[in-house]
Amino acid sequence: MSEPLLSIHDFSVTYDVDPPVHAVKGVTLELARGEILGLAGESGCGKTTLAYGVQRLLKAPAVITNGSVMFHDASGEDVDINALGAEEMRRFRWDKISMVFQGAMNSLNPVAQIGSQLEDVFEVHRPEMTPRQRRSEVADLLELVRVGAQRARSFPHELSGGMRQRVMIAMALALRPQLMVMDEPTTALDVLVQREIIRQISQLRHEFGFSVIFITHDLPLLLEITDRIAIMREGEIVEVGRAEQIWTDPQDAYTRTLLSSFPRLTGERGVVVR
């Protein structure tokens, strides 16, 4: 594997309820610079909790109980994410690591124009920019994700689901982060729009060189777009491998079960029992 960007070691998260729920159990995982890593598993296995924990976005009763998360900055600096103060972490997010949240299409402010919501990112993280510079950056971003600069004055309800998702991707790209975490980014979209979004993510990754952690329960989708896949079950990583290896030679029984749960387009027809 090439130079690492993110190193997660023995990472655990517990929901402090009665009885406690151990949502993430001793996860060790490494992400290479420029890599798309898929994180797959059934709903409730801890994928989103892991992603939130890595970025310190968890809220009570979730508690990080063990482990370390090291970010290997392109500048050569190693950043211990768990050791960052609240203000340091605020600056770190979006600048170094950004996230497209689950249900992101509905995360936009319904009463604010798209352009002003994108400008907010620059106003908070790049306060030295002038209003004119911010508007120019927003126009460039909207063109980059194929929404169109003219949509800056549109409200979210005036855009399709696919366009709103593209706006969220533009927001995540705004500060040119080195890592983008995408949590089920295409779940609510139809198949054709999913395909367009996935193709665009791959193109942007090649253009800008950022890494991606792509979280989904849709294993066939990950087989198509990722370099490596980590399979998660009940809070643990049970298998990590190249996408091709996961498809042709899965090592864990749970991985084989996941693969067999999706219908094949080829092979003998089955018999439907009524």
**pLDDT in single tens digits along all 274 residues of the chain:** 579 999 999 999 999 999 999 999 999 999 999 999 999 999 899 999 999 999 999 999 999 999 999 999 999 999 999 999 999 999 899 999 999 987 766 788 999 999 999 999 999 999 999 999 999 999 999 999 999 999 999 999 999 888 998 999 999 999 999 999 999 887 767 788 888 888 888 889 989 999 999 998 888 888 889 999 999 999 999 999 999 999 999 999 999 998 888 766 555 655 444 4
Residue showing tokens 């600096």 = 77
H helix or E strand, kind and range, residue 144: helix 131-144
Q: pLDDT value at position 273?
A: 43
Q: pLDDT value at position 26?
A: 97
Q: Could you tell me where the beta strands, DSSP code E, fall in the chain?
A: 4-15, 21-32, 36-40, 62-72, 78-80, 97-100, 179-183, 211-216, 228-233, 236-242
Three-class secondary structure of residue 258 per DSSP = helix
Q: pLDDT value at position 197?
A: 84
Strand order in the sheet with 21-32: 21-32, 4-15, 62-72, 78-80
Three-class secondary structure of residue 263 per DSSP = coil
pTM of this prediction?
0.91
Tokens of 47: 């994928």
Evaluate whether 12 touches 41 at the Cβ level (below 8 Å): no
Tokens of 103: 């249900």
Q: pLDDT value at position 269?
A: 57
Report the DSSP beta bridge partners of residue 79: 71
